Amino acid sequence: MKKSLLIIICFLTNTIIFSQIITGTIYIKKTNEVLPGASVYLNGTTIGEISDFNGFFELNINNITNTPVIISYTGFKTIIIQPKDFKTISKIYLEEASNQLKEVFLGLDIWSRQKKLRIFKEEFFGRNKPSLYCTIANEKDIQLIYNSASQTLNAYCNKPIIIKNRYLGYKNNYSLTDFEIKFEKNENDYSIVKRVYTEGYSFFSELNKKSKKRIIANRERTYRGSIMHFMRSLKESKLNENNFVIYKNRWPVNPYKHFKVKVLKSSSKIEVKTKTLSVLYNKDKQSKLTFHLQNGITEFSIDNSGNFYPPKALNFSGDFGYRRISELLPLNYTPNPQLVLKKQYSVNKTELHILH
């Protein structure tokens, strides 16, 4: 019997506040000395700074209010500052990190590293055109453990995974916090992927100082019809104008009979009272939204970047769900709706479950 593939990708987010510039000073906890050269960035964006000679940093978050600030330095534990704490940032203390590897149970890990790495990259990047243009600069830093008893493959990395995406023209320093592939046996006793869970933090930077026309087109192609595009359109009540058609029970409906949109200062509050809705983008890309109703209602917020909170408010399947790390765009990506694109590439539609 053919089974659908379950994928979970989580981008950690938190509550909404309205600060636009945050500042602080970074110290080494053990010695109380200031720490220059630490990386400070807004998760999922190209917005980042390095602490100066006095350990001081200043970060303009540009109205992106649903994502945390990450502070990291090689050899120290990463600090995650949630949006609710932005206004109280003053002094940040970094602790030294342990480089101890995860324990491997001999006899249970029967796969070669080559096999584990191949499977990891297939599920991490996805099996699409952009994935063919993605490489990892520090593969040796990734620890991979297969447990034959539980049929799981886990990945760990004490350093950011350095992803070079030549399709989108970005370098993505991805701090992996959790990765697991769960396998099951099919009727022929072969191991197949049942579900995948990926969780981490991203910091994007340009691979080249000036992006080529091909890269600009690839970014716009990836953006159009994406979850980010959908959420931004929903926030602005422009679903129809941006070629998103909402279906209920296979019939097209007025989206705003099901989505109640309340515009706030730097976000919009969305209220939904139905369990499932389908989305058709540009008469081509089909997706399904499943909402987690509580007392007959689901509520979530969308900030100016299209990032929404809480991430567990809804699940995605179809085209929305198919997108993986290789198709990630920064939250502060600016689209170009006037750009004329050539025919888009086709991808296999696999059912996924994403927590954004």
pLDDT digits (tens, 9 = 90+) for 123-166: 999 888 999 999 999 999 999 999 988 999 999 998 899 999 99
Contact status, residue 159 vs residue 74, Cβ threshold 8 Å: yes
Classify residue 355: in a domain, yes or no: no
Task: Look at residue 66 and tell me if it is in a domain.
Answer: yes
- Identity at 247, one-letter amino acid code: Y
Q: Supply the pLDDT for residue 277.
A: 97
Q: Does residue 8 lie in a domain region?
A: no
DSSP 225: T
- Shared domain for 89 and 176, answered yes or no, is no
Q: Which residue type does 235 have?
A: K
pLDDT at 28 over 50: yes
Measured CA to CA, the distance from residue 130 to residue 345 in angstroms comes to 10
CA-to-CA distance for 201 and 80, rounded, in angstroms?
A: 10
Q: What is the pLDDT of residues 76-121, one digit of tens each?
A: 999 999 888 888 788 999 999 876 666 666 568 889 999 999 999 9
Residues 86 and 118 grouped into a single domain: no
Who has greater pLDDT, 349 or 238?
A: 238
Range of the domain at 73: 22-94
What number is the average pLDDT over the span 270-293? 94
Both structure tokens of 80: 């995650």
Q: Amino acid letter at 158? A: N
Say whether both 84 and 124 belong to one domain.
no
327 has a pLDDT exceeding 50: yes
Task: Convert the pLDDT of each residue in 225-264 to its tens digit.
Answer: 999 999 999 999 999 999 999 999 999 999 999 999 999 8
- CB burial of 177-197 (b: ≥16 within 10 Å; e: otherwise) equals eebbbebeeeeeeebebbbbb
CATH number for the domain harbouring residue 30: 2.60.40.1120
Please give the tally of structural domains in the chain.
3
In the chain, % of residues over pLDDT 90: 63
**Encoded amino acid at 145, one letter:** I
Rounded to whole angstroms, the Cα distance separating 87 from 335 reads 30
Q: Which tokens hold the place of 150?
A: 């539980």
Rg, the chain, Cα only: 21
- Mean pLDDT for 189-213 is 89
Whole-number pLDDT of residue 103: 67
Does the residue 37 lie in any domain? yes
Q: Are 72 and 127 in a shared domain?
A: no
In a domain, 107, yes or no: no
Q: Is residue 237 part of a domain?
A: yes
- Tell whether 39 and 70 lie within a shared domain: yes
Residues 59 and 120 in one domain: no
Cα(54)–Cα(11) distance, integer angstroms: 31
- Has residue 19 got a pLDDT over 80? no
In terms of domains, do 232 and 310 share one? Answer: yes
199 in the same domain as 246:
no
pLDDT at 16: 38
Measure CA of the first residue to CA of the last residue in the chain; give whole Å: 30
- Whole-number Å distance between alpha carbons of 279 and 242: 12
For the entire predicted model, the pTM comes to: 0.83
Same domain, 122 and 199: yes
Residue 105 domain flag: no
* DSSP-assigned beta bridge partners for residue 46: none
Q: Is the peptide bond before 335 cis (omega within 30 degrees of 0)?
A: no
- pLDDT, residue 14, reads 40
Q: Are residues 245 and 318 in the same domain?
A: yes
Does residue 176 belong to any structural domain of this protein?
Answer: yes
Helix (H, G, I), strand (E, B) or coil at 108: coil
Count Cα neighbours of 261 within 13 Å in the Cβ-side half-sphere: 18
Instruction: Give yes or no for residue 12 having a pLDDT over 70.
Output: no
Q: What is the pLDDT of residue 347?
A: 47
Q: What would the DSSP string read from start to end of 45-71?
A: BS-EEE--TTSEEEEE-TT--SS-EEE
pLDDT band at 348 (very low <50, low <70, confident <90, very high): very low
Compute the distance between CA of residue 200 and CA of residue 158 in angstroms, rounded to an integer.
12
